[in-house]
Amino acid sequence: MKLVLLRRCELVKPSPFGGQGELLFAGIGCGLWFIALFFRLSVRDDSWTWMEKLVECIALVGFSGVPVFFFATPPGSRWVRSVLLKYDGLFFQLGICCALALYIFPVAYLGWDPNKFSWLGPLRRVISDNPFSFNAMAFLSAAFIVLRLPFLFLKLRSQPPLIKHISHISKLFSHHLEITIFLTLHLIACSVLITDGYLLGFAYIVVFLGMNLPFSRQPGCGQRLQVFDFFLVLTCLGAMILFSSLHFDFASFISVHLFIVVVMYGTGLGREHFGYSFQVRLMDLKYYLKITAIACIVLIPLTLGLQFNRPLSGIPSPMEIVTYLILFSFRVGVMEEILFRSGLMVFVRDSLYRWQKAPQSQNQLVIMSTVITAIIFGVFHFGNNPGDGSLLSELEFKAVYIFLGSIAATFYGLAFGETNRLWCSVFLHGLIDTTAVLLLKVPLTAPF
């Protein structure tokens, strides 16, 4: 399988992206995402008005798909560097907060149903029951703080670490006064807005201390991810907790956008280093068909043989299959593939480069990065619970789920390692999830 699926290993030696077709993919991707969401809202609940569906679909695709696809194009790349990274990301932070305001205030004042807009109820009582505008402004202020902190931390990357002795900690906070102020505001905001949010506030302080330990930044490693960047990614992921606490469906994508802007572009490593491209090349399309066939041959018999769930009782409609495929690919696949493949797998690759005592072959490097990331990916899905159709106990279900998730993630990693582009692993991810839910009745969380 290694010889069949790993020949180019483009992740090992990334080449510059040509950019051909990336804008077209971004436009088509956002359009398909919007149509699939609109269709699902229409089918799932006929109580949605035309205007409610339009606003919800624009918000979800606008906060999720538009940035993630546009930033992966040459114009988007230039815009991030020339605009969004200026003034410590001020325009990025203000843009997100203004877009949120344009979404939440009209929905609230039009009196739309909180059962449809799940964030509306929690936001109305996030601090006090009334007035809504006070609660909303408090949330937007907290959002600005949590969006700004990663950009402030980014400036530390080019500076020498200050903590060489425990007595240096007080000096650290006084030396970085702006960060200290925002960490304090973040602690207060999280404590007020999130249940047990003070833990998140203190976690950011611990991360800040970790960033300034001597081992976090190694000389001569500026062209690869370092321990410092791992801490930086954690602060990007922390934003997800604030937005998830109010049940925004696009919460995870806020963290993805932070990761793209701060880590991919802000560090200067560039999108080639992270395989951040959705360019579809003919040779990648042929590879996708090949790895998809092999993945299905391996995973479907395994799932059936392990008696994961009751057998299929009905055939879904073609429209249902297409809708699930689009939404699993874009809402789940894009988010998880960027974080696990462009994020974790690239970090593992860079770490292996630093730690290896003897040169490794391209195949070995991709395989090791893939397997390590796949195991972590599987373990991260430990929280999934069996559905009504499960034939296994809860513990058996979790063990099988981790095993199958790791096997599936191995194929995602091989696709990413071979092409150094995301679309192949994204659509493979979406296809496997769609097959698992619609044909094998695996209890995955629906992507809508």
Region of 280 please: left (phi>0), alpha (psi -120 to 50) or beta. Answer: beta
Q: What is the mean pLDDT of the chain?
A: 90
Statement to judge: residues 206 and 337 lie in one domain: no
pLDDT value of residue 389: 64
- Do both 102 and 246 map to the same domain? yes
C-alpha–C-alpha distance, residues 118 and 246, integer Å: 8
346-355 vs 362-380: helix crossing angle, rounded to 10: 130
Same domain, 253 and 287: no
Asked if 357 and 332 sit in the same domain, the reply is yes
In a domain, 254, yes or no: yes
Q: Is residue 247 part of a domain?
A: yes
Question: What share of the chain in percent tops pLDDT 90?
Answer: 69
Q: Is pLDDT above 60 for 3?
A: no
Task: Indicate the pLDDT class of residue 29, thresholds 50, 70 and 90.
Answer: very high
pLDDT tens digit sequence for 354-401: 877 555 788 899 999 999 999 999 999 887 777 666 677 788 888 888
Give 219-247 pLDDT, tens digit per residue.
656 689 999 999 999 999 999 999 999 99
Q: 366: which 2 tokens?
A: 């991709």
**Do 296 and 159 share a domain, yes or no?**
no
pLDDT of amino acid 43: 84
If asked whether residues 323 and 245 sit together in one domain, one would say no
- 295 and 375: one domain? yes
- In a shared domain, residues 97 and 64: yes
Question: What is the pTM assigned to this prediction?
Answer: 0.94
Do 355 and 267 lie in one domain? The reply is no
Last residue within a domain, chosen from 274, 302, 320: 274
* Domain closes at, from 253, 274, 295: 274
Percent of the chain having pLDDT more than 70? 92
Torsion sign over Cα 197, 226, 420, 83 = positive
Residue with tokens 């902190």: 149
pLDDT at 208 over 90: yes
In a domain, 383, yes or no: yes
Residues 393-415 have pLDDT tens digits of: 788 888 888 999 999 999 999 99
Q: Does the pLDDT value for residue 199 go beyond 70?
A: yes
ω into 131 cis (within 30 of 0): yes
Q: Is residue 13 assigned to a domain?
A: no
Tell me the per-residue pLDDT of 250-287, one tens digit each, with 9 for 90 and over: 999 999 999 999 999 999 999 999 999 999 999 999 99
Confidence of residue 164 (pLDDT cuts 50, 70, 90): low
Does some domain include residue 444?
no
User: What pLDDT score was predicted for residue 256?
Assistant: 98
Please give the pLDDT value at position 311.
Answer: 58
Query: Which DSSP helix (H) or strand (E) runs through 171?
Result: helix 169-175
- 95 and 148 together in one domain: yes
Q: Say if residue 237 is in the same domain as residue 130.
A: yes
Any domain includes 31: yes
> In terms of domains, do 110 and 37 share one?
yes
pLDDT of residue 166: 62
How does pLDDT run across 33-61, given as a tens digit for each residue? 999 999 999 887 778 999 999 999 999 99
In the chain, how many domains are there? 2
Q: What is the mean pLDDT of residues 79-86?
A: 97
End-to-end CA distance of the chain: 35
Of 222, 254, 274, the residue at which a domain comes to its end is 274
User: What does 315-380 look like in DSSP terms, one character per residue?
Assistant: PPPHHHHHHHHHHIIIIIIIHHHIIIIIIIIHHHHHHHHHH-SS---HHHHHHHHHHHHHHHHHHH
Instruction: Say what the pLDDT of residue 215 is.
Output: 84
7 inside domain = no
Token pair belonging to 312: 């299929």
- Which whole number is the average pLDDT over 16-30? 93
In a domain, 149, yes or no: yes
* 139-152 per-position pLDDT tens digit: 999 999 999 999 99
Range of the domain at 76: 19-274
